[in-house]
Amino acid sequence: GEDVEQSLFLSVREGDSSVINCTYTDSSSTYLYWYKQEPGAGLQLLTYIFSNMDMKQDQRLTVLLNKKDKHLSLRIADTQTGDSAIYFCAELSGGSYIPTFGRGTSLIVHP
Amino acid sequence: DAGITQSPRHKVTETGTPVTLRCHQTENHRYMYWYRQDPGHGLRLIHYSYGVKDTDKGEVSDGYSVSRSKTEDFLLTLESATSSQTSVYFCAIRGRYEQYFGPGTRLTVT
């Protein structure tokens, strides 16, 4: 089946930029998503990008999509301790209603 | 806030007892989903619904059943709970292009 891969952990210092990476295998992916999960909470949709886009920016968040390499990244500028959470990448193929999720990257922000 | 609530938020039950978890949405969305989240396994789809009385199985449906008699409610039932069903359960709805998740139910089966 289709797969979404993420590294398990990322550690950064407060004020630095964080880059969380994701690779996927489905060449027919139409929508790609980033979710954030804080401890004890559900998944919160951060942003999503259509496959015909290369980049999307929303305040401190920048999503980059390299469709040729099937690589998605989430950059968080000026990372704060409140950004510490698990970040999930997900993809959805056109015509499907069931997204495929990665296992999540745990972002740890040090003061 | 996508208008999704789950109840109960926490439950402890004994092996062999039936358990029903409820997901309620206020957004009138057609698609609803049940996931479980476990360390090392990420999110796994249990069942989903594409309309009233229309449901289908996900990748880990054994031991679970669902019902949807109204657009706003999607119920997940563990007919006879086992310790392997100890998990955090999330409900989700589908918006136009994306999913929105509920706050989760932490279920412990002793």
Task: Please give the DSSP secondary-structure letter assigned to residue B52.
Answer: T
Helix (H) or strand (E) holding B20: strand B19-25
Size of interface A-B (CB pairs under 8 A): 44
Interface test with A, best of B33, B99, B106 (most A CBs within 10 A): B99
User: What local confidence, expressed as pLDDT, does residue A95 receive?
Assistant: 80
Q: What distance in Å separates residue B101's CA from the closest CA in chain A?
A: 6
First to last CA, chain A: 40
User: What local confidence, expressed as pLDDT, does residue A1 receive?
Assistant: 61
B45 Cβ under 8 Å from any chain A Cβ: yes
Q: Could you please report the per-residue DSSP string of A62-83?
A: EEEEETTTTEEEEEESS--GGG
Task: Please give the DSSP secondary-structure letter assigned to residue B79.
Answer: S
Residue environment code for B82-98, b if the CB has 16+ CB neighbours within 10 A, otherwise e: eeebbbbbbbbbbeeeb
Q: How far apart are CA B35 and CA B46, in angstroms?
A: 5
Q: How far apart are CA A31 and CA A5, in angstroms?
A: 16
User: What local confidence, expressed as pLDDT, does residue A47 receive?
Assistant: 95
pLDDT in tens, chain A (111 residues): 679 999 999 999 999 999 999 999 988 888 999 999 999 999 999 999 998 889 999 999 999 999 999 999 999 999 999 999 999 999 998 788 899 999 999 999 999
Q: Residues A17, A23, A28, A34: what is their CA dihedral angle, to the nearest 10 degrees? A: -40
Q: What distance in Å separates residue B43's CA from the closest CA in chain A?
A: 7
Cβ atoms of residues A21 and A71 within 8 Å: yes
User: What local confidence, expressed as pLDDT, does residue B1 receive?
Assistant: 56
For chain B, list residues with pLDDT below 50.
none
User: What local confidence, expressed as pLDDT, does residue A94 receive?
Assistant: 77
For CA atoms B21, B25, B30, B33, give the dihedral sign: negative
Which residues does A50 contact at the CB level (< 8 Å), separation at least 6? A30, A31
User: What local confidence, expressed as pLDDT, does residue B97 receive?
Assistant: 86
